[in-house]
Amino acid sequence: MNPATALATVLVDELVRCGLTDVVLAPGSRSAPLALALHAESRVRLHVRIDERSASFLALGLAKRSERPVALICSSGTAVANFHPAVIEAGESGVPLLVLTADRPPELRGTGANQTIDQLKVFGAAARWFAEVGVPEERPGQVAYWRSLACRAYQRALGPADPGPVHLNLAFREPLIPDGDTSWCEPLDGAANGPWVRARVAPPPVALHLPPTRRGVLVVGDGAPNVRRYVAAAGMAGWPVLSEPNGGGRYGDHSISTYHYLLGMPEFADAHRPDVVVTLGRPGLSRPLLSWLGRAEEHIVVAPDLGRWPDPTRSATQVAQAVEIPVAAGDDSWLHAWRQADTAVRSAVDAVLDVSGTSEPRLARDLVDCLPNGALLFCGSSMPIRDLDQAMRPRRGIRLMAGRGVSGIDGVVSAAMGAALAHNGPSYALIGDLSFLHDQNGLILGPREPRPDLCFVVVNNDGGGIFSLLPQAAVRDPFERVFGTPHGVDLGYVAAATGTPYTLVGDLGELPKALRGEGPRVVEVRTDREENVLVHARLREAAQEALRSLTG
């Protein structure tokens, strides 16, 4: 057996023993040993994509939804560079990726050899760990090295305290395909039962015990750990819960879904300063919320890894791996004040949305309302997730995700595909037109590839809608070209190019019917950017008026 085939066979087998179930492959020549070993491995689900960037975000979505490492494989050269945006997103959002890049052997590096670049630590600080595996050789000891390395890589990606991407660079000398000889200088077999190295998970950390108080607030952002446990504890303590949609805590009687508007009113924000705020995950959607957090006297951040904790407002006073929120005695006037204000503003916001026609925040609200229990909603990182944050009513029974590590619009189609492939139930994606066009290659599926049950709901306002709500909109002359960026693309033709079923929705009353179907499909909803600005202004005004009326 040639060394390249031996390394690939052993590495794939050991990763499967560790628990690997999904692999995403972008085809190439130098990665042939890995590709052939995977094709012969029946214990994994193989996904092949012709575009490395699409492949990498597909793996990201798979790993984000499954919360398990997914292997990502490519050839050498610029193929590796195309993985970089997804690796950065995985690094910032704590998604376990195993990035296996094929490479030329050392003697070809720095010589001008084809498809050869410097791949050593090419992902920089985005990778949790890097290993240059070395050119495989037929000599005793290689199997123990390869198998122990695979176990270390898998466990480092998984965490559990600090999951993220791990990069193994694999230099292969030719021949790259099996030569028919199966002999090797030592047994290639793995351990009799399970992986070569068994990593033991440490016991749960000792929780920080908080003094009992009724005047606490739980804030839930992206990537929050143990959400249900903390939401239940906050409910027992009489605390309001301010959860971003992708935080997973926007449900139940204590959920305050209009916090964006409430905290945007200085009178309310000043009058509702808590004794303590506990933050899970990384909030980042609402400027009023972040501003309010920045003034908190006691702000405790829960972070499983004490070496990396989110604190964008620089307001954390304590950081703990776990927190114990005790049941507090006393009246419920604190929670009652939050809920009363939320009810009034919720009613005012919904009244505006009900008469807003085919508006973007109404689409976000109505889409969530009509999804079946057990559904997954993958949301675009720009305006769609913000519309959900400001318009979504509390509800149970759905899983909502977004790529908020670095909040890029790239790879959203592919990431949604990956998340849907890992989800046991119907899946949906709410994304903007620029995100859709940026990753339209994500719709390309070969005839033998696993196909998710995924409906893309694309908001088409012919450009970058978020900029119309930012200060850049005041610079009228260059705005439309350099910020609005109209494209004039007919999305129906984009869908037709890949044979993806397509529906245009003219009225939101048609949405539930349009969502029906199987497999990948596209539903387009056309909106107007200038009208969208007016709708958001009316929402703010209605919320402010409702709050003023309540406080007299």
Calculate the alpha carbon distances from 513 to 282, 367, 503 in Å: 35, 12, 10
Reported as half-sphere exposure (CB side, CA atoms, 13 A), residue 164 has a value of: 19
Measured CA to CA, the distance from residue 86 to residue 100 in angstroms comes to 14
Mean pLDDT of 235-262: 97
Q: Which residues contact 84 (CB under 8 A, 6 or more apart)?
A: 122, 123, 126
What is the mean predicted confidence (pLDDT) over 211-230?
96
Percent of the chain whose predicted confidence (pLDDT) is above 90 = 88
> With 80 as the cut, is the pLDDT of residue 473 above it?
no
Q: What's the confidence (pLDDT) of residue 432?
A: 96
Give Rg (Cα) of the chain. 25
Percent of the chain past pLDDT 70, that is, above it, reads: 100
Instruction: Check residue 449 and report its DSSP letter.
Output: S
Span 96-110, pLDDT tens digits:
999 999 999 999 999
Identify the residue with better confidence: 48 or 193: 48
Helix (H, G, I), strand (E, B) or coil at 227: helix
Question: How would residue 480 be classed by pLDDT, with cut points 50, 70 and 90?
Answer: confident
H/E element holding 432?
strand 427-432
- The three-point CA angle 63-66-71 to 5° equals 35
Predicted confidence (pLDDT) at residue 27 exceeds the cutoff of 80: yes
Phi/psi zone of residue 252: left (φ > 0), alpha (ψ -120 to 50 degrees), beta?
Answer: left
Structural domains of the chain, with CATH? 3-171 (3.40.50.970), 208-336 (3.40.50.1220), 356-540 (3.40.50.970)
Is the pLDDT at 496 greater than 90, yes or no? Answer: yes
Q: What pLDDT, on a 0 to 100 scale, did the predictor assign at position 138?
A: 95
pTM, two decimals, is 0.95
Picking from 69-83, 137-151, 455-469, which range would have the lowest pLDDT averaged per residue? 455-469
Model confidence at 425, in pLDDT bands (50, 70, 90)?
A: very high
> Running DSSP on this structure, what letter comes out for residue 445?
-
Q: Is the pLDDT reported for residue 283 higher than 80?
A: yes
Angle between helices 3-18 and 142-158 (to 10 degrees): 40
pLDDT value of residue 267: 95
Q: Which of 292-296, 298-302, 350-354, 473-477 has the lowest mean pLDDT?
A: 473-477
Query: Where do we find the tokens 């491995």?
Result: 41
Whether the per-residue pLDDT at 193 is higher than 90: the answer is: no
- Residue 199 CA to residue 189 CA, distance in Å, equals 20
Q: Are 302 and 204 in contact (CB under 8 A)?
A: no
Q: Check: CB of residue 411 under 8 Å from CB of residue 88.
A: no
Which two structure tokens, joined as six digits, stand for 257? 């879904």
pLDDT beyond 80 at 552: no
In angstroms, the CA 265 to CA 242 distance is 16
Q: Are strands 216-220 and 502-505 parallel, antiparallel or unpaired?
A: unpaired
- pLDDT beyond 90 at 389: yes
Measured N-to-C along each axis, helices 383-391 and 333-354 cross at an angle, to the nearest 10 degrees, of 120
The backbone torsions φ and ψ at residue 422, rounded to the nearest 5 degrees and listed phi first, read -95, -5
Is 115 exposed, middle or buried, given 0-12, 13-18 or 19+ CB atoms closer than 10 A?
Answer: middle
Q: What is the model's pLDDT at position 257? A: 98
The arithmetic mean of pLDDT across residues 107-134, rounded, is 95
Query: Is 34's pLDDT higher than 90?
Result: yes
Q: Tell me what pLDDT residue 218 has.
A: 98
The pLDDT mean for the chain works out to: 95
Asked whether 289 and 263 are in contact (CB, 8 A), the reply is yes
Q: Is 78 helix (H, G, I), strand (E, B) or coil?
A: helix
SS (H, E, C) 381-422: CCHHHHHHHHHCCCCCCEEEEECCCCCCCCCHHHHHHHHHHH
Give the sheet arrangement for strand 45-48, strand by strand.
45-48, 22-25, 70-74, 97-103, 166-171, 129-132
Does position 504 have pLDDT exceeding 80, yes or no?
yes
Which residues face 71 on adjacent strands?
Answer: 23, 98
Q: Bigger pLDDT: 95 or 478?
A: 95
Taking the C-alpha atoms of residue 500 and residue 444, their distance in angstroms, rounded to an integer, is 9
Lowest mean pLDDT segment, chosen from 5-14, 430-439, 466-475: 466-475
- 3-state SS, 158-226, equals HCCCCCCCEEEEEECCCCCCCCCCCCCCCCCCCCCCCCCCCCCCCCCCCCEECCCCCCEEEEECECCCC
Question: How confident is the model at residue 470, as a pLDDT?
Answer: 78
61 DSSP 8-state letter: H
Q: What is the pLDDT of residue 199?
A: 84
Per DSSP, the residues of 333-393 read: HHHHHHHHHHHHHHHHHHHHHHTS-S-HHHHHHHHHHHSPTTEEEEE-TTHHHHHHHHHPP
Residue showing tokens 């790993």: 63
- Split at pLDDT 50, 70, 90, the class of 123 is very high
Q: How far lies 44's CA from each of 31, 39, 193, 229, 545, in Å?
A: 18, 9, 18, 33, 57
pLDDT in tens, 311-350: 999 999 999 999 999 998 888 999 999 999 999 999 999 9
pLDDT digits (tens, 9 = 90+) for 413-424: 999 999 999 999
Residue 476 has pLDDT above 80, yes or no: no
Give the per-residue pLDDT at 294.
Answer: 93
Distance, CA of 365 to CA of 66 (rounded, Å): 26
pLDDT at 161 over 90: no
The pLDDT value given to residue 205 = 82
Q: What is the pLDDT of residue 507?
A: 95
Tokens of 385: 């997730």
Tens-place pLDDT, residues 355-376: 999 999 999 999 999 999 999 9
Among residues 454, 451, 473, which one has the least CA distance to residue 536?
A: 473
Signed CA dihedral, 221, 542, 483, 476: sign only? negative
**Mean pLDDT on 447-467:** 93
Q: Residue 509: how many CB atoms within 10 A of its CB? A: 10
- Residue 72 is predicted with a pLDDT of 98
170 confidence band (pLDDT: 50, 70, 90):
very high
- Give the mean model confidence (pLDDT) for residues 277-295: 96
Q: What pLDDT was estimated at residue 465? A: 79
